[in-house]
Amino acid sequence: MSDTDVPGRMALDYHERTKHHPHRYARSAGTIDWDNQPDPFRTYIDAPTLSLPLDTPDPALDYASLYRSAATTPAPFTPSTISSLLALSLGLSAWKAVPGQRWSLRINPSSGNLHPTEAHLMTIGVSDLSDGIYHYHPLQHALETRALFPPAAVRAVTPHLAPPCLAIALSSIFWRESWKYGERAYRYCQHDIGHALAALSMAARLLGWRMVYQAAADADIAAAFGLDRTLWPAQEAEEPALVAAVVPATENHPPRVFPAAAVDILAAVDLTGRPNRLSARHQEWDIIPRTAAACRQHRGITPPPMPKDSRDKLQPSPAAAAAAAIIRQRRSAQAFDPDGQLDCDAFLAMLDRTIPRRDCPPFDAAIGPIRISLVLYVHQVLGIPPGCYAFIRHPDHLESLRAATSPSFSWTPATPDVPLYLLTPGDVRAEAIDLSCRQEIAGFSTFSLGMLARFESEVRHTPWIYRHLFWEAGMIGQILYLEAEARGVRGTGIGCYFDDAVHAQLGLQDRSWQSLYHFTVGFPVEDQRLQTLPPYFHLPPERPLHSQG
């Protein structure tokens, strides 16, 4: 093995080591240290705060139009429109309460509701917002000012970052997840980045905008957004994940690379605010920073191609609901009615929606080629016999998956309309439950699925692709969450599954494909003991945009 393979080997070893097995889960603390539960909200103490408006009406776009290119005239960048973008992607969605306890939920889902993802905005030439860097604080629905750009810095960067410029960097606080999930936490942080990027991308479309992933070295993201010179409490640093430009959806040539020329200028800007401490004590999981280091992106990465239309026919969407209402009502189901039956057209349309198309969020964010196809456990779909199926998201996957999986699979096309193939017929409820760490939600649903990613050769040679695979999986999950809501059912992401048991069931003999995320969709059974409160009941409804020192 050459030296350049070492980071790839590290990523592969991490993956192997963090697999759950029926007889042995990935390493974690084993018990939950409730006294040290990380604060779910990062705040920058002493950073001037700009409260974002809470009384702005949601954009009126209907759900079906979310997936049509340029359906909306681009809104200007203002505090009010940026408020809508954040409220409909990373803001609070509700509070749940039982006597003596209350916890918030967000528009974007997160493994264990732990929310390791943080968002930092860069604005230049945006009306009513000083040029600078801001951290989004979902609890307060506010921007915390991390830096104000001096005029000389603005003059120096504008040749590279043309105003009006809005860029969003996402970062992960690994500790938030490892507190509960130990070594497997790095995977979940990456899933959550995918969910968050997709949530931003969908919300952007409501405003006539589009999120575009920008090729950037992680060190450059850290320098430009001030993460590299923030004094972090031990174990609570924010690791840069990605930067995306927000552009009008009508823009044909969005900036695909975060300009390295701007980084040196931005790196010299003074910062304000000190990060709060999230936990009093920490347990170290040193495999996580080592894997993060191995999977870092460095300069010189070329931007991935934009998605092309890989299929011309898009299945219809229910048009009646407002997109914002669907986004706001998204929740994870915790139990399903095992008798609920999903309509066949709805099922096929949901799958079809996961295929990237030109100008269609969230994959118009262009994070990279399609590397994931789906294995389905169909339980209760009218007109589709129960069984194990494959859904091929890219034509190139078909032969490769066929060759890699069990020779006993029939690969019978299930319908002429979408690339769905029956592998084995029969009741797969018990199997689905067993494979998903014995969680009943995988079998009492209408269908559940595993996301199979092209794996070993990609990760070995280009370790940062390891992160992108989880992002793609998270983005598929986010689509399925919304599609489920739009069609009267409900989804749940499943990060807990027995990796190699899934692979064995499929007959996979090597690591050319690996299952990276599971998902389930069904008719939810609500827990009547929980009280639901509105997302911002704790804040006054009409707040002028103001600044506190």
Q: Residue 195 interacts with ligand FMN (CB under 6 A)?
A: yes
Q: At what angle do helices 465-486 and 344-353 cross, to 10 degrees?
A: 150
For ligand FMN, the binding residues in 427-456 under the rule CB under 6 A are: 439, 441
Indicate which single residue of 113, 130, 158, 400 sits in contact with ligand FMN (rule: CB under 6 A): 113
How near is the Cβ of 246 to ligand FMN at its closest, in Å? Answer: 23
Q: Residue 117 interacts with ligand FMN (CB under 6 A)?
A: no
The C-alpha atoms of residue 374 and residue 418 are separated, in whole angstroms, by 13
Q: Which is nearer to ligand FMN, 279 or 439 (CB)?
A: 439
How near is the Cβ of 300 to ligand FMN at its closest, in Å? Answer: 30
Q: Residue 69 interacts with ligand FMN (CB under 6 A)?
A: no
Q: Which is nearer to ligand FMN, 28 or 492 (CB)?
A: 492
Q: Determine contact, residues 222/228, Cβ cutoff 8 Å.
A: yes
Sequence letter at residue 549 = G
The first and second tokens of residue 523, run together, are 């008719």
Candidate ranges 107-115, 133-141, 232-240, 299-307; the one touching ligand FMN (CB under 6 A): 107-115
Query: Between the CA of residue 138 and those of 74, 93, 97, 452, what are the distances in Å?
Result: 24, 10, 18, 33
Q: Which is nearer to ligand FMN, 188 or 409 (CB)?
A: 188
Q: Residue 490 interacts with ligand FMN (CB under 6 A)?
A: no
How near is the Cβ of 115 to ligand FMN at its closest, in Å? Answer: 8
Q: Which residues contact 2 (CB under 8 A, 6 or more apart)?
A: none
How near is the Cβ of 211 to ligand FMN at its closest, in Å? Answer: 19
Q: Residue 460 interacts with ligand FMN (CB under 6 A)?
A: no
C-alpha gyration radius of the chain: 22
Q: Residue 495 interacts with ligand FMN (CB under 6 A)?
A: yes
Q: Determine contact, residues 147/154, Cβ cutoff 8 Å.
A: no
Q: Determine contact, residues 77/166, Cβ cutoff 8 Å.
A: yes
Q: How many CB atoms lie within 10 A of CB 406?
A: 15
Residues that bind ligand FMN (rule: CB under 6 A) add up to a total of 20
Indicate which single residue of 75, 85, 105, 367 sits in contact with ligand FMN (rule: CB under 6 A): 105
For ligand FMN, the binding residues in 328-367 under the rule CB under 6 A are: 331-332
How near is the Cβ of 111 to ligand FMN at its closest, in Å? Answer: 4
How near is the Cβ of 61 to ligand FMN at its closest, in Å? Answer: 22
Exposure of 175 in the CB half-sphere (CA atoms within 13 A): 23
Q: Residue 171 interacts with ligand FMN (CB under 6 A)?
A: no
Q: Residue 492 interacts with ligand FMN (CB under 6 A)?
A: yes
Indicate which single residue of 188, 213, 225, 336 sits in contact with ligand FMN (rule: CB under 6 A): 188
Q: Which is nearer to ligand FMN, 43 or 111 (CB)?
A: 111
Q: Determine contact, residues 329/489, Cβ cutoff 8 Å.
A: no
Candidate ranges 32-40, 206-214, 320-328, 487-495; the one touching ligand FMN (CB under 6 A): 487-495
The first and second tokens of residue 203, run together, are 């919300």
Q: Residue 110 interacts with ligand FMN (CB under 6 A)?
A: yes
For ligand FMN, the binding residues in 391-430 under the rule CB under 6 A are: none
The C-alpha atoms of residue 94 and residue 47 are separated, in whole angstroms, by 26
Q: Where are the beta strands (DSSP E) in 403-498?
A: 412-413, 420-425, 447-454, 490-494
Q: Which is nearer to ligand FMN, 104 or 235 (CB)?
A: 104
Dihedrals phi, psi of 57, to nearest 5 degrees:
-65, 145
How near is the Cβ of 239 to ligand FMN at its closest, in Å? Answer: 17
Q: Which residues contact 44 (CB under 8 A, 6 or more apart)?
A: 135, 144, 146, 272, 273, 274, 275, 276
How near is the Cβ of 484 to ligand FMN at its closest, in Å? Answer: 11
How near is the Cβ of 188 to ligand FMN at its closest, in Å? Answer: 5
Q: Which residues contact 212 (CB under 8 A, 6 or more apart)?
A: 244, 245, 246, 247, 254, 255, 256, 364, 365, 366
Q: Residue 191 interacts with ligand FMN (CB under 6 A)?
A: yes
Q: Which is nearer to ligand FMN, 211 or 496 (CB)?
A: 496
Q: Which is nearer to ligand FMN, 156 or 335 (CB)?
A: 335
Q: Which is nearer to ligand FMN, 258 or 444 (CB)?
A: 444
**Which residue in 154, 303, 293 sits closest to 243, CA to CA?**
303
How near is the Cβ of 547 to ligand FMN at its closest, in Å? Answer: 31
Indicate which single residue of 38, 48, 91, 109 sits in contact with ligand FMN (rule: CB under 6 A): 109
Long-range contacts of the stretch 16-24 (C-beta < 8 A, 24+): 17/183, 17/287, 18/183, 18/184, 18/186, 18/187, 18/287, 19/498, 19/499, 19/500, 20/184, 20/437, 20/496, 20/497, 20/498, 20/499, 21/498, 21/499, 21/500, 21/501, 22/434, 22/498, 22/501
The first and second tokens of residue 245, run together, are 């430009």
Q: Residue 493 interacts with ligand FMN (CB under 6 A)?
A: yes
Candidate ranges 105-113, 154-162, 166-174, 356-364; the one touching ligand FMN (CB under 6 A): 105-113
Q: How many CB atoms lie within 10 A of CB 299?
A: 13
Interface residues with ligand FMN (CB under 6 A)?
105-106, 109-113, 188, 191-192, 195, 331-332, 439, 441, 492-496
